[in-house]
A and B are shown apart, each in its own frame.
Chain A
């Protein structure tokens, strides 16, 4: 049955636009063929998501010549040039899935609850914990004020504390919060804590909330069990949140599989690709309001969302967080800070505008670097090994910072970074996307970089739950645009000192050998799909991931940008002198041939 689908239509109903793609089986392989887009119609005056979906279908019909609709009905199954075999969708419209989580101890069960919610595609509005230092009435006020779509309550290992989690339940009951949508309904609360406390939780919450009980997400200190809670979140997302969002009841009857929250779907495809190639992956989706970061390291999946780092609605917040000097340091031209601030605020209040001037584009790229960096920092601090577990540590670990010690993100082991979202996917030159991602993520050692060509990861994520073959085929052939490998230093040194000698044997047997100075960036032409053997020898003070002075040999693959040798060191430092700063950035832009004024 699963391979009998030959024509699939998928939509992602975003907060601004609804994006539809057509996937068709051509011979033995699935390919993405056409794409349509229309404004999302969740809000007034339409208040019906299906109108935007039908509009996006109309554009698909126009472009593909295939008739998809009979009036407002999707034609199924496919037949020559009419109909489709399957329709699937994701949604983040109307602010996505907004949750609040509660747990007994902030760094233990509350954190596990947070990771369960994030993994299910939610935005976590707040984390309430017994030890979060807020007074009880402050917690109650906060619960009532935020009006989440649902609450996930955890606390206590099985057989452990009962009091703390019941206390949290009492706060929720006292707040008597109303859900964001469908105010006449009871707020869904999922209990995934100590199983010994279930009866008491029922006593406190059953009459005041739509209570669901599932397995403890932290049954033992050493073990998380997040999937049952995630599954329950997604069920409630469909039953409560979607069912009360405008038009979704109708949309749910159209789809061949349950509608997924957009970030959950992106998480699925990232996990699928990591599993298929047995690699460590970081994925990022930078939107107008939020930035999602996904990672799979040694098979462990994590997702975080930075709810206020984005390129339009939240653009001003990125500046507020990082400081204007951290934006202007990425500019290769002299800019008046007050003018830059006004331009950024104007983007915030008119979020649909696009840069017309090159200077404006460079300012947006500067902001994107900082938004990506901040979101990734947040991801690293949340994607950590389980806290509260006793483990042995060696002397070197004892001297490291706590955050660094616990994070699962090991940049030396990272194989692939995938970027998605308008500023990366639609950058006029692909080298701009590569430059932004290298500057923000600062990969170490050898890392491949890629972008989502036209933002179809959500569609493929939900498709992967039904037909993994189709999803991964389209992901590799049509979705991912490989930019190229980046080889980076892992430490720092003196500017201008000799740091790497490299030798490359290209696919056509041509050889290139050169010396790179510290602070330089080289971009070497290596086309998509072509392989090359590289041998890099750092001088004795420099490290490429194998230790100081240790040679690195590898087979690398090309991309639309090529092979990048980044000898700027880690952490990447930019001169504090404005004039030198502009010179450095200009030199790096030239190395990438990133802009029309540099090529």
Chain B
């Protein structure tokens, strides 16, 4: 395997970010190219088709499916209101009359003379897409959405839960190793996104929810605490739609792990700025990692940028080279950061007796260790 290399999580103090904001179904884009937008601005909207309800009219009226049309009071495509008669029999004696009422307000979609069922559809549900980041609309895809560009600090987490949110960034941890306590939190942090240290426990998350903190950025979390928060054991890492009123971004992994020095330093340097964060994670098929975007404001107080169009897109990293900083992502040195000292080409036998390609990593204290190459990831800028 000449390509055994794990791309790392992105971390950049200042870069141009292009954020696609697309509708789930075609609809209307309500901003124009060149517009400056704020994170909470709506950029596009559409209507999702309403829920479908079925009503077996023939069973209710005691008629044959082929005769259904002659008993219907309304036809396909017509509007109906809840409890409005939809179909009825016309017996000689009124007492024997049967009526079928609409269970919803909506439209009649189909009337089937094969099955005798009538499908009714609820009115469409409006869906709005917000800008999510302060920035400039640089591209408009008609009926689909927009691309917003912004100059910002960009940090990827390894795992997150909860959806998109924005808030002022507040550093609560004293250091990247710190473990904050519930008593460290106060009402001043309401509506903010806080940075904790190497671990948050369930009590801290609960207190954050009580106060109204919008998001937590932390090095590690225990599996048990995630399970308690969600109410179930997370089986597959596809997240972002949890209804938990807070967004959690884990930068390193499960267990107590210090936030990487550079990540913590960059977050500290942006304290007080408005951050847009998303916990959405999907490890498989089109990897999505949680992200922290902290736009810069220009002199006029308007976020974003004036000429994002010409900014080159970052080139993909080609691999790990000697001298590169790397993060170790598996025991026994999990979470430690070092530099690549050597990249031996020959395969080596490790403790498990597996024969694998390895990497020699040197830690800041001068200690060197041999690690399987697949157990390190590049620290990308």
Contacts and interface: CB of A to CB of B under 8 A. Distances in A.
B119 interface: yes
A66 to B, nearest CB: 17
A276 B170 CA distance: 69
A272 to B, nearest CB: 30
Contacts of A45: 316
Contacts of B81: none
Contacts of A343: 254, 331
Given A317-B236, A357-B332, A428-B354, A346 B374 contact: no
B318 interface: no
B233 A352 contact: no
Nearest to B377: A350
Contacts, number: 171
A163 interface: yes
Interface in A165-191: 166-167, 170-171, 173-176
Interface in B235-254: 235-237, 253-254
Interface in A15-47: 15, 37-39, 43-45
Interface in A347-372: 348-358, 360-361
Contacts of B332: 356-357
A166 B3 CA distance: 52
A341 B223 contact: yes
Interface stretch (B108-116, B175-183, B185-193, B269-277): B108-116
A244 interface: no
Interface residues of B, number: 57
Contact of B158 (A166, A175, A314, A349): A349
Interface size class of A (residues with CB under 8 A): 35 or more
A140 B119 CA distance: 11
A339 B220 CA distance: 13
A174 B329 contact: no
Given A170-B115, A345-B223, A354 B354 contact: yes
B331 A428 contact: no
A308 B236 contact: yes
Nearest to B334: A346
Contacts of A429: 353
Interface string B27-58: 00000000000000000000001011110000
Interface string B358-378: 000000000000011011010
B352 interface: yes
Contact of A349 (B51, B117, B237): B237
Contact of A320 (B121, B235, B237, B253): B235
Interface in A299-358: 308, 313-314, 316-317, 319-321, 338-339, 341-346, 348-358
B345 interface: no
B97 interface: no
B264 interface: no
A44 B286 contact: yes
| Residue of A352, A357, A360, A596 with highest tally of chain B CB at under 10 A | A352
B254 A346 contact: yes
B356 interface: yes
A316 B283 CA distance: 12
B262 interface: no
A170 B1 contact: no
B110 A170 contact: yes
A94 interface: yes
B354 A341 contact: no
B356 to A, nearest CB: 7
Contact of B285 (A15, A37, A166): A15
Contact of A174 (B110, B235, B287, B377): B110
A175 B109 CA distance: 11
Contacts of B254: 341-343, 345-346, 349
A160 interface: no
Contacts of B377: 350
Contact of B331 (A141, A321, A356, A596): A356
Interface string B1-30: 111001000000000000000000000000
A338 B332 CA distance: 16
Given A354-B374, A354-B375, A39 B3 contact: yes
A81 B218 CA distance: 56
Contact of B224 (A141, A341, A354, A357): A341
Contact of A356 (B65, B119, B330): B330
Contacts of B372: 353-354, 356
A141 B117 contact: no
B296 to A, nearest CB: 26
Most buried by B among A163, A308, A348, A596: A348
B2 A59 contact: yes
A356 B351 contact: yes
A338 B224 contact: yes
Nearest to B282: A313
A348 B52 contact: no
B255 interface: yes
A426 interface: yes
B54 A136 contact: yes
B350 interface: yes
Contacts of B121: 174
B7 to A, nearest CB: 10
Contacts of A571: none
A428 B222 CA distance: 31
Contacts of A228: none
A423 to B, nearest CB: 11
B63 interface: no
Contacts of B119: 136, 170, 174
Contacts of B350: 356
Contacts of A358: 351-352
B229 interface: no
Contacts of A316: 233-237
B331 A360 contact: yes
A596 B223 contact: no
B285 A360 contact: no
A469 to B, nearest CB: 31
Given A37-B1, A356-B332, A136 B374 contact: no
B222 A200 contact: no
Interface in A140-177: 140-141, 144, 162-163, 166-167, 170-171, 173-176
A350 B53 CA distance: 43
A90 B54 CA distance: 42
A244 B290 CA distance: 28
Of B3, B287, B332, chain A has the most CB atoms within 10 Å of the CB of B3
B356 A354 contact: yes
A356 B285 contact: no
A342 B255 contact: yes
A308 B117 CA distance: 36
B283 A351 contact: yes
Nearest to B110: A170
Interface string A403-434: 00000000000000000000000101100000
A436 B275 CA distance: 48
Interface of B: 1-3, 6, 49, 51-54, 65, 109-110, 112, 114-115, 117, 119, 121, 158-159, 222-224, 226, 232-237, 253-255, 281, 283-287, 316, 329-332, 334, 350-356, 371-372, 374-375, 377
15 contacts: A170-B54, A170-B117, A316-B237, A317-B236, A341-B254, A342-B253, A342-B254, A343-B331, A345-B223, A346-B334, A349-B281, A350-B158, A357-B331, A428-B353, A596-B353
Given A141-B52, A354-B354, A596-B353, 4 more contacts: A95-B284, A341-B223, A354-B374, A358-B352
